[in-house]
Amino acid sequence: MIYRVMTVCTGNICRSPMAEIVLRSRFEAAGLDVEVDSTGISDEEHGNPVDRRARAVLARHGYPTGEGHHARQVSASDLPSRDLVLAMTSQHARALQRLGGEPVMFRSFDPTADAPDVDDPWYGGPGDFERCLAEIEAAADGIVEHVRIALA
| Nearest-10 crossing angle of helices 15-29, 126-151 | 50
Determine the 3-state secondary structure of 36 from DSSP. strand
Give the model confidence (pLDDT) of 100-127 as tens digits: 999 999 999 999 999 999 999 999 999 9
Overall number of domains in the chain: 1
Query: Is residue 132 annotated as a catalytic residue, yes or no?
Result: no
Query: For residue 30, is pLDDT > 90?
Result: yes
Q: What sign does the dihedral 18-65-134-109 (CA atoms) show? A: positive
72 tagged catalytic: no
**pTM, whole model, 2 decimals?**
0.97
Which of 14, 15, 24, 110 does the annotation list as catalytic? Answer: 15
CA pair distance 39, 43, nearest whole angstrom:
9
CA atoms of 47 and 108, how far apart (whole Å): 29
Q: What is the pLDDT of residue 132?
A: 98
- State mean pLDDT over 88-102: 98
Helices (H), the chain: 15-29, 52-60, 90-98, 126-151
Q: Of these residues, 4, 83, 119, 120, which one is catalytic?
A: 120
Mean pLDDT, range 22-39, rounded to an integer = 98
Average pLDDT over residues 23-33: 98
The CATH number that applies at residue 76 is 3.40.50.2300
Tens of pLDDT, residues 54-90: 999 999 999 999 999 999 999 999 999 999 999 999 9
pLDDT at 1: 77
* Bridge partner residues of 88 (DSSP): none
Nearest to 133 by CA among 62, 35, 36: 62
The domain containing residue 56 runs over which residues? 3-151
Query: Does 119 participate in catalysis according to the annotation?
Result: no
Average pLDDT over residues 20-24: 98
3-state secondary structure of 17: helix
